[in-house]
Amino acid sequence: MEEFFEISILYDFYGEFLTEKQKKAVEYYYSFNYSLAEIGEKMGITRQAVRDLLIRSKEILHDFDIKLNLVQRYKKRQTTVLECMDILNEIDQNGSDQEIKGMVDSVKAKLGELLEEN
């Protein structure tokens, strides 16, 4: 199941770099959970050809991620934004003047880090 999630994320980021045939195979397999035989039947190719398409597609997606590192950068941004939201929620719920200053400075620092990455 972890592989399905990983490939789905990679496909979201780098799917446009695949051929139409590769896209179809990846979508059928990872999004619609079709078997290799079902995909082969839909695409008019052998089960082995589907397997080869999927292997090659996974390699391409991983290669792009190694080179561009967009998924890891996205995950880091998401984590930072969530941390900032937690801090802001804490401020909203029960912050004193001194605590608020420290929390606001923390949010500014985290958001500054995000800006510097770009």
* pTM recorded for the entire structure: 0.73
Same domain, 43 and 58: yes
Distances (CA, A) of 14 to 44, 61, 86: 25, 6, 31
Which domain CATH number covers 19? 1.10.10.10
Report the number of distinct structural domains present in the chain: 2
DSSP state of 44: T
Q: How confident is the model at residue 102, as a pLDDT? A: 80
Q: How confident is the model at residue 81, as a pLDDT? A: 85
Same domain, 78 and 111: yes
Q: Give the structural domain span for 38.
A: 2-68
Residue 57 contacts residue 16 (beta carbons within 8 Å): no
Please list the rounded mean pLDDT of every run of 10 residues in the chain (118 residues). Answer: 89 97 97 96 97 98 96 89 81 72 80 74
